[in-house]
Chains A and B, each alone.
Chain A
Amino acid sequence: MLVLIGILIIIAGFLLRFNPLLVIMASALATGLAAGLDIAAIIAAFGKAFNDTRYVSIIWIVLPVIGLLEAYGLQQHARSLIDRMKGATLGRLLTGYLLLRQAMAAVGLTSVAGHAQTVRPLVAPMAEAAAEARNDALSDAQREEVKAFAAATDNVGLFFGEDIFLAIGSILLMKGVLDGYGYQIEPLHFSLWAIPTAVAAFLIHGFRLRRLERRMAQTPAGAETGA
């Protein structure tokens, strides 16, 4: 039971808005000590995992290209594309991206799009432009919500598309764990059973995107307007 102290530290740390890096380190040390590990072993375990997971941080190599393109006006161009397309409403744009992201993830192309590669330079500015086209008094709070939904749509599309692909890590994990209990299951069965949820995710999130579009078409009275 004592090892659960790390979870309490994480929850309290995030709620009190301490620097998350400090909170994580404190949680790791407390959890390790509660489990009877010595400090050197905890630091070594943490260091080994940090080194093994470096691949999650290599996405930042796209930033020089994105920075260069943005300095030359990529975001403005993405916006002007939306302005020229008459039918491109906020809801249709993000729903289209949701479908594209789910479809690509379903064939294993998970890193092709993402927050750094596509959301910041293209999807978020396009979504903002689409919202502005219907509401010339878009407030700052609304602008934030539109951008947040652009990122959320990327996540929903990725999560509820990728498990349809046979060779994704989570499918291999499921197969491995069930093998351990003596159940031999073909990866295809896991893939097929991911489809109903993928459809449900598209319907639920798509419905919310339509409501977002309606909400963004009007600025609530009293809200400060954005630049």
Chain B
Amino acid sequence: MITLEFVYILAGLTFAIFALLGLYDRTSPKRFGNAAFWGLLAVSMIVGDYLGDFGNGLLVLALVAIAGTGQICRAPGGDVPADVQAERAARHGPFLLVVALIIPAVALAGTFLFKWVPGLADPKQATLISLAIGVLIALAVAMARLRPAPLLPLQQGRRLLDAVGWAAILPQMLASLGAVFALAGVGEVVGGLIGTAIPEGSLFGATLAFGLGMALFTMVMGNAFAAFPVMLAAVGMPLLIEQYGGNPAVIAAIGMLAGFCGTLMTPMAANFNLVPAALLELKNPYGVIRAQVGTALPLLAVNILFIWLFAF
């Protein structure tokens, strides 16, 4: 049976090759730093489960030390000139589009296949496993037809990842920070503060505090999942549900979505907001957030209104 382990090994091997290519790239001024950074990430992917918690912690400290002191960078060059790309696009265009769509198509088909036919792959991880298989199939099809230099996909992949740089591990770092916050009881303290800020006896005030609290606390944590249990304990359960008799399904479902409005507005949700800015090579790292605020704020107001209208 295929498990997530297979995907971790595949990712680890990819990072390991990126590290080696970086090491031998003499045009890069920081080639040792790059090689060490992606190499450590390869170690984490492949043998992370055997390093122990403290060992993994030391690995993270090493990653932070390398990237935090500016030891990784993007090597110059490697871009395919635009006129070569345009000439190739005229020849291979429709084929390229088909290959690009193989990845989502296999992810889709595999998700259903692995759920219906048990025993092939871990059904809980069906989409991620299918995504990885889709990548392998797309790569094989493209290599067979285009016949590029054997290392070209990995060289170009490394160039793209170097452009993202340390932001590539930001989502994992923030998720880990969330775990330390949970251990330290940050949520209870924030929930308590918000609980005391609500005007006595006002249903709308309590609804407003719940919705705003979900969004604000999600912005701090970068994740509505962390905010939900805290805000429910501080405001949702004692006031909205027990004191005012609100419908718990409405309060929970729409409250969570109020939190998602916060996710759109915070750099802490790095994988949604900062990583795409790096991936699209935007000059402003907060460009995606800027584009989202105008949707997030009115939608947050609508969510608060919906709770008030539908739950009571």
Contacts and interface: CB of A to CB of B under 8 A. Distances in A.
A201 to B, nearest CB: 6
A66 B189 CA distance: 45
A22 B68 contact: yes
B155 interface: yes
A6 B103 CA distance: 40
The 10 closest A-B pairs by CB, nearest first: A67-B156, A73-B89, A47-B57, A47-B56, A43-B57, A49-B179, A35-B184, A64-B157, A77-B93, A193-B253
B48 A54 contact: yes
Interface string B211-238: 0000000001000110011001000010
B53 A47 contact: yes
6 contacts: A31-B181, A50-B175, A57-B45, A58-B10, A111-B107, A148-B291
Contact of B176 (A3, A50, A201): A50
Interface string A30-74: 011011010010111111111101111111111111111111111
Interface string B186-209: 100110000000000000000000
Given A4-B190, A49-B178, A60 B45 contact: no
A71 B249 contact: no
B179 A181 contact: no
Nearest to B95: A72
Interface in A104-132: 108-113, 115-122, 124
Most chain B CB within 10 A, of A20, A40, A75, is at: A20
A190 interface: yes
Given A61-B10, A68-B146, A148-B277, A156 B295 contact: yes
A49 B180 contact: yes
Contacts of B295: 152, 156, 201, 204-205, 208
Contact of A64 (B90, B127, B139, B146): B139
A149 B174 CA distance: 24
Nearest to A20: B170
Contact of A37 (B164, B176, B184, B294): B184
B111 A47 contact: no
Given A56-B172, A173-B225, A174-B256, A80 B89 contact: yes
B153 interface: yes
Interface residues of A, number: 109
Interface of B: 4, 7-8, 10-11, 14-15, 41, 44-45, 48-49, 51-61, 63-64, 67-68, 70, 80, 82, 85-90, 92-94, 96-97, 99-100, 103-104, 107-108, 111, 125, 127-128, 131-132, 135, 138-139, 142-143, 146, 148, 152-161, 164, 166-181, 183-186, 189-190, 220, 224-225, 228-229, 232, 237, 241, 248-250, 252-254, 256-257, 260, 263-264, 267-268, 270-277, 279-280, 282-284, 287-288, 290-292, 294-295, 298-299, 302-303, 306, 310
Nearest to A36: B184
Nearest to A152: B291
Nearest to B281: A147
A27 B203 CA distance: 36
Contacts of B169: 21, 57
A54 B44 contact: yes
B291 A21 contact: no
A93 interface: no
Given A115-B275, A115-B276, A174-B252, A66 B157 contact: yes
B103 A117 contact: yes
A40 B61 CA distance: 12
Contacts of A151: 276-277, 280, 288, 291
Contacts of A118: 104
A222 interface: no
B179 to A, nearest CB: 4
Given A4-B189, A28-B177, A48-B179, A57 B172 contact: yes
A31 B131 contact: no
A150 B280 contact: yes
A122 B99 CA distance: 12
A220 to B, nearest CB: 17
A93 to B, nearest CB: 15
A70 B89 CA distance: 9
B161 to A, nearest CB: 6
A122 B100 contact: yes
A183 B248 CA distance: 8
B291 A145 contact: yes
A50 B172 contact: yes
B191 to A, nearest CB: 12
A72 to B, nearest CB: 5
